[in-house]
Structure formats: C-alpha cells, structure tokens
Amino acid sequence: MVSEEIAGLRLVRLRRPGGRVAVGIVARDEVGLLETDDMLAALQAGQLPQPAERVPLLDAEVCTPAEPWNLLAPLTPPETWAAGVTYERSREARVHESHGSADVYDLVYAAERPELFLKDAAGRRMVGPGEPIAARADATWTVPEPELAVVLGDDRSPLAVTIGNDVSSRDIEGANPLYLPQAKIYAGACALGPALLVPLDWGLPFDIELRILGPDGETVFEGQTSTASMRRSIDELVEFLCRDNPVPSGTVLLTGTGIVPPDGVTLMHGQTVEIKISGIGTLRNPVAIRAVSQERKGETLRA
C-alpha cells in the first residue's frame, strides 16, 4: 500500500529507569522532552514550550528511544471504548463467526445507532508498545483488530489519534453475541501506541496495515485497509458515545476494524503483531497466552 504520510504533531511518553516520566515531541529521529509527564495537559496546552532535552530515536517508526529511556503507552485513558461493525469486512466476519445465526450485525451496520462497548478502564487491561497482548486461556480463536483510536479532550472533542489493537476472542463472541464483553474485555486485550498524532488535517483518511509475524519473523498474515472505507465518521461515533454519558477527559475511542484474518489464523505464543497507521507509526506487541493454573487460583502470562 502506498501510504500518504499524514502531517501533524507527534507525541510520545518516555520513562527513565528510576522514575522520571516525560512527554516528548517526535521530530524526525529524535524526541524533544518537555518538562511535563502529563500527556493530556500537553495536548490541551495552546502552545508547547521548547524541549529542554533531546533523546535520539533508534527506530522512529516504532519510536524506540536510546538508552536509558523506555517507551510507554502514550497515555493511560480513564476509559477506553470501542465501536464495532463500522466496516463492511467486520460485518461479514461477525455474520460468519456466528454461523449466520445472528442478524444483529447486519442490522447494526445499517442502523443509525452504532455499536459501542466499554473495552477498558484505568488501563487495567491495556498494554503499551512492546508489551505482550494476550489470548484468553479459555479461547480457541483470538485475533488482533487494528483500529484508529481517538483521544477525547475536556469538551469531548477529538484531540489526537493513536493506534489501538482491540484483541478479541472470535469463538466466544461467535457462540453468542451476549458473550461480547468476555470476548473483548480481559487482561492484555488492548494495546495502544506508539505515539499520538495531532493531525494538521482531520479530514484525511488513514491507511492501516496489519502484520502477524511468526517466531522467526515470517509473515503469518498481512492485510490493509483505509479509514476511507469506514461507514461512520469519527464525529458521529463520538457524538453517540457522549450522549447522556459522562465520558471523562482523556478517554480513548477505538473506531472499529476493517481487517479480519482468515479462519485458520489465531494468535499464538511467540508471534508478534504489528499495526502501522500512516503518520502515527507502528505499534508492535508480542503475543502471550494466558496460562491458568488447574485450580484456576493463580494465573501467569507467558510472553
């Protein structure tokens, strides 16, 4: 896919071992650190100050900083919501995984009211760049969902975009649409990052690419789409989300997937998921399988 680079301000959050967290402005292959660790405050400030310190980027696409700095998720949203069935490809996949028994997906695709669900709160189930996303121990079919994610400000207007991975258990969701929260909400089911982009032109479509890589770096699946194929606008999704709903500042809204891997593909231990969105960068996460002890008392993540 030929990606048109989307211009705008690109921001990341870095941490130094031992504590200091700083918001930084990405400029080519370095990050200019600001005095603040508060991404939301930086986004809402009218004008940003000159960076006080510069950190080289070893890889500007995935935003890997030089040591001793580490990349963090760009923010910890108080709430993360997601829209569903906003692309024709997602509508087809839902009808297929439910063995054609549920027409709710056809109906919601064409309806005035979108599907919206709560994906996470306070970052409890969210990971940042480089951290493991997870498949549930009781799921047999887990897929990544690469989605444009929108950060909302005080007045609930879109402040910035980032990349979101709405990792989902298709077998659980396909068994019964009422199982959707269990298919979508569990530890490691959401990834955000690597950067936030404040686009100069909010009207331009974003190209989205997904790659699932095997343990030796081989491509297991790759696909592309564009937000130009999305049936609904960002403004429409935000308006529905905020209707009679006290959505807090810093909330993130994932806007739905337009890329669905074929039936044989399920996320497995040792794989890596890469999602690239033009202008934002590439979000890369290894896959872990959640291992539950026989008594289901304790659980651990194998990454």
Footprint on this chain of ligand DO4 (rule: CB under 6 A)? 82, 84-85, 90, 94, 115, 145, 166, 180, 256-257
Q: Which is nearer to ligand DO4, 48 or 234 (CB)?
A: 234
Does 68 sit behind a cis peptide bond, omega within 30 degrees of 0 on the bond before it? Answer: yes
- Based on its alpha-carbon atoms, the radius of gyration of the chain, rounded to whole angstroms, reads 19
Tokens found for residue 244: 């009679």
Q: Which is nearer to ligand DO4, 257 or 272 (CB)?
A: 257
What is each CA distance from 108 to 41, 111, 116, 296, 299, in whole angstroms?
36, 5, 10, 36, 36
Q: Which is nearer to ligand DO4, 84 or 281 (CB)?
A: 84
User: Which one of ligand DO4, Mg ion, none is in contact with 85 (Cβ closer than 5 to 8 A by kind)?
Assistant: ligand DO4
CB-side neighbour CA atoms (13 Å) of 100:
0
Q: Which residue is nearest to Mg ion (CB)?
A: 166
Question: What minimum distance in Å lies between the beta carbon of 5 and ligand DO4?
Answer: 25
Question: What minimum distance in Å lies between the beta carbon of 257 and Mg ion?
Answer: 5
User: Which one of ligand DO4, Mg ion, none is in contact with 209 (Cβ closer than 5 to 8 A by kind)?
Assistant: none
How far, in Å, CA of 198 to CA of 250, rounded? 14
Question: What minimum distance in Å lies between the beta carbon of 28 and ligand DO4?
Answer: 33
Q: Which residue is nearest to ligand DO4 (CB)?
A: 84
Q: Which is nearer to ligand DO4, 166 or 274 (CB)?
A: 166
Question: What minimum distance in Å lies between the beta carbon of 129 and ligand DO4?
Answer: 21
Question: What minimum distance in Å lies between the beta carbon of 145 and Mg ion?
Answer: 4
Q: Which is nearer to ligand DO4, 73 or 82 (CB)?
A: 82
How far, in Å, CA of 18 to CA of 8, rounded? 32
What is each CA distance from 9 to 28, 132, 224, 289, in whole angstroms?
11, 27, 24, 36
User: Which one of Mg ion, ligand DO4, none is in contact with 94 (Cβ closer than 5 to 8 A by kind)?
Assistant: ligand DO4
- Report the DSSP beta bridge partners of residue 77: none
How far, in Å, CA of 172 to CA of 137, rounded? 12
